[in-house]
Amino acid sequence: MTFNIALVGCGGMGLRHAHGYVELVKTFGANGAPGVGPVEMIAVCDRHQGPAEKVADLIEEGTGKRPQIFLDYDEMLRDLKGLDAVDIVTDTPMHHRFAITAMEAGLHAMTEKPMGLTLKACRMMRDVADRTGKVIAVAENYRRDPVNRLSRALLDSGAIGKLYFALDVALSSARGGVMHGTVWRAKRDQAGGTVLDAGVHNADMLLYLMGPAASVYAETSTFERQRELRGMESQSPQLAEFYGHRVETGGQKGDMIEHDAADTAFAVVRFGSGAIGQLSLSDTSHGERVGQSSVHGSEGTLIRTPSRSGRPAEIRREGGETIIGDDLLALVPDFSLDAVTAGLWGKDRLGSYDLDFRQTDRKIVAIEYADFAQAAVSGGKPEVGSDEGTAALALAYGVMESGEAGRRVKLDDVVSGAVSGFQNDIDRTMGI
């Protein structure tokens, strides 16, 4: 039986999801991915006609079938027949409302990261998923990169011994501009800012590699409160092709935008295992980028490369021994990629790959669709479900909660809502 999906939100990431869907169909054909079966995007929805048309055109060109277009989400749920699930790629404040409405209507829901606007939003989503028995999945992409799969297998196998600490330092410069030229990303009450919007990826990767986090202490700041709204060709040229069609209603290019989301955080994490992590994020590091992603253990250090770059990870040991890329595979003879990832990359064991960002990005989104559909069709769990989505957001918000409170916070308290000082205003403003 075909699993019918509607894509909701046809902006920058929505277009990338459409590419991912086309990649899934082109790679696996009419019968669908192994263990998953056929998936069809029967509708797309955006409140703006232009972006919805653009995404529908792309899907029609890639698959030969044009999805129906809806400009109103509730109307779509009411009128569209045969729908099994929604893929929610709107800006973050709508994720919980759309996912909850979908599950109440008997549909499965996948949301882009972050899973919800706040931890309260995530708890509401999880309660509805539990009550309705519907699948909630989160389209968290970084961990699905084959190089990150290998890194995880290496750490699990003890290739660098007992894990002591991890560094994840991503200090870059937005050159005084609004991230991705999207005004909602400037706003604290819309889960904007690099610490949350980008940091939730770093959080998920740290948890994926190091295991659950127990507590976090952080200093946070908003250094640049007035930022210029620019087009993506000058703000983030690598992503410009995905954002040209979107409609910005929050301002015009050249406007100065009030940026009240945090733009900088320096955090120290204690993992349940006893290991320590350092997470440093900022887009205000002018003239100098600093990036370091590594895991350090009793037998060596794993050096990570940026997710989706295809560049190989590396293990360095005392005495100068270095093991890199495909040579790392010998350390994990039993490691292999899952069938869907292997189908997309053409092999089930690899230490690096040479693809441009576009190709990699769509393969990873294809994996997300397959994982979601497989869980929904089989009654199983997606790899990144509400527990994993909540944990990643709890670490990102834990950083903000700690910065606000000026003390270390326990992640369990962030998940439960016992610590929520930073998020309370957001919940109030957004009517949760």
Ligand X SMILES: NC(=O)c1ccc[n+]([C@@H]2O[C@H](COP(=O)([O-])OP(=O)(O)OC[C@H]3O[C@@H](n4cnc5c(N)ncnc54)[C@H](O)[C@@H]3O)[C@@H](O)[C@H]2O)c1
Positions touching ligand X (CB under 6 A) are 9-14, 45-48, 51, 73, 89-92, 94, 112-113, 141, 180, 182, 197, 246
In the bound state, the residue with its beta carbon closest to ligand X is 11
Nearer to ligand X, 89 or 315 (CB): 89
Residue 141 CB, nearest distance to ligand X (Å)? 5
Q: Which is nearer to ligand X, 123 or 308 (CB)?
A: 308
Is 297:161 a contact under the CB 8 Å cutoff? yes
> Least distance from C-beta 91 to ligand X, angstroms?
5
Nearer to ligand X, 96 or 123 (CB): 96
Residue 263: CB minimum distance to ligand X, A: 16
Instruction: Please report the beta strands in 115-234, taking only residues with DSSP state E, as ranges in sequence order.
Output: 136-139, 163-171, 213-221, 226-228
- Measured from the CB atom, is 176 or 250 closer to ligand X? 250
Residue closer to ligand X by CB (options 188, 410) is 188
CB of 373 to ligand X, least distance (A): 18
Closest approach, Cβ 330 to ligand X, in A, equals 32
- Is the CB of 8 or the CB of 128 nearer to ligand X? 8
Closest by CA to 120, choosing from 95, 102, 87, 103, is: 95
| Three-class SS state of 226 | strand
Nearest to 55 by CA among 245, 326, 229: 245
Minimum distance from CB of 103 to ligand X (Å)?
A: 17
CB 186 within 8 A of CB 350: no
Task: Decide whether 166 or 200 has the Cβ nearer to ligand X.
Answer: 200
Specify the amino acid at residue 420: S
Q: Output the smallest distance, CB 29 to ligand X, in A.
A: 26
Q: Whose CA is closest to 55, among 3, 99, 19?
A: 19
Report the alpha-carbon distance of residue 53 to residue 398 in Å, rounded: 39
- The rounded distance, in Å, linking the Cα atoms of 400 and 195 is 8
**Helices marked H in 220-314 — which ranges?**
232-235, 240-243
Question: How far, in whole angstroms, is CA 211 from its chain's centroid?
Answer: 18
Place of tokens 């330092």: 169
Report how far residue 274's alpha carbon sits from residue 271's, in angstroms, rounded to the nearest whole number.
5
